[in-house]
């Protein structure tokens, strides 16, 4: 199993598990909370068949990566991504983030630039800024995030059960676009994640990306479902075309948060079309 070392805590290294498959232009897939790189299953197969080199990795604290007690902020997440990009010497890459992974894409490009990157994809994005403030009235009240953290501390497994009901819009899509078994598999991954990391990720969602967005200087595809209950379209993706030059927004009708799974039949053609554009 391949790992890249991104840090140290006491006697142990902090290692990220990654998979590097296929050949061709590298596509780096960055997963969402609280999952791992295997959550890209429906995209990996399609991308490999289309002739791309596909790299997935597990964020620190999640999946098969190390579970340190610190580093659950976007400066560190972007630094971790930079170590991976540098270690694999990726060139002409496409960064594809889903949900929390869109923060890595945005902060990476805002901090490290696009020397190694040709294009970017933000799927069900966190940016520009989730927290409601005087200068960000489109955001979400702090009390919502306080409630999430309280629920995680009180009963993390129960929190994940409630989270996935809204993540997949189970009341509408269960048995149609998502199976009970797929939801159980996601829950199993989630409960295996770091308890500390799970909690610490919540404040990271409130990162202000508004200074990073103008620095994105590569063509950018934004994909979002109009029935997203986790990151509402109006607070997130709908605002991005004005903030990212050379960007295009694709809205998936009826799409929940987890559009890369439930609506892969619509997401994948949009992704491939974007990748194949000159």
Question: Annotated catalytic residue: which of 15, 194, 235, 257?
Answer: 257
Strands 26-30 and 3-9, by their bridges, are: unpaired
pLDDT along the chain (278 residues), means of 10: 96 98 98 98 98 98 98 98 98 98 98 98 98 95 96 98 98 98 98 98 97 98 98 96 98 98 98 95
161 carries an active-site annotation: no
The predicted structure's pLDDT at residue 49: 98
Is 228 considered catalytic here?
yes
Q: What is the pLDDT of residue 1?
A: 78
What structural domains does the chain harbor? 3-276 (3.40.50.1820)
Catalytic-role residue among 15, 228, 235, 247: 228
Q: Regarding beta strands 3-9 and 12-21, do their DSSP bridges make them parallel or antiparallel, or are they unpaired? A: antiparallel
pLDDT at position 83 is 98
Of 65, 99, 186, 247, catalytic: 99
In the chain, what are the helix, strand and coil shares in percent, each to the nearest 5? 45, 20, 35
Contacts 24+ apart (CB under 8 A), 35-40: 35/62, 35/63, 35/186, 35/189, 35/190, 36/62, 36/63, 36/64, 36/189, 37/63, 38/63, 38/189, 39/98, 39/186, 39/189, 39/260, 39/261, 40/98, 40/260
| 257 assigned to active site | yes
pLDDT number for residue 103: 98
């Amino acid at each position: 199993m391949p790992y890249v070392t991104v840090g140290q805590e006491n006697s142990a290294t902090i290692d990220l598990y990654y998979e590097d498959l296929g050949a061709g232009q590298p596509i780096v897939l960055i997963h969402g909370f609280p999952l791992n790189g295997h959550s890209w299953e429906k995209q990996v197969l399609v991308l490999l068949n289309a002739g791309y080199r596909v790299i997935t990795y597990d964020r620190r604290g999640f999946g098969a990566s190390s579970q340190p007690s610190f580093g659950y902020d976007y400066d560190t997440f972007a630094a971790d991504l930079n170590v991976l990009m540098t270690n694999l010497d990726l060139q002409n890459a496409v960064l594809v983030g889903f949900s929390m992974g869109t923060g890595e894409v945005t902060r990476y490009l805002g901090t490290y630039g696009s020397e190694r990157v040709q294009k970017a994809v933000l799927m069900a994005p966190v940016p520009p800024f989730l927290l409601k403030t005087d200068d960000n009235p489109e955001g979400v009240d702090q009390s919502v995030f306080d409630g999430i953290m309280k629920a995680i501390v009180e009963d993390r497994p129960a929190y994940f059960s409630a989270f996935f009901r809204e993540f997949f819009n189970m009341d509408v899509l269960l048995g149609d676009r998502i199976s009970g078994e797929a939801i159980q598999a996601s829950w199993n991954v989630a409960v295996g994640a770091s308890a500390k990391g799970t909690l610490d990720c919540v404040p990271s969602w409130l990162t202000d990306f508004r200074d990073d967005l103008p620095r994105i200087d590569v063509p950018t595809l934004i994909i979002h479902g109009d029935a997203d209950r986790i990151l509402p379209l109006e607070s997130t993706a709908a605002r991005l075309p004005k903030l990212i030059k050379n960007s295009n927004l694709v809205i998936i009708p009826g799409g929940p948060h987890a559009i890369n799974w439930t609506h892969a039949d619509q997401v994948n053609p949009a992704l491939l079309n974007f990748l194949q554009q000159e």
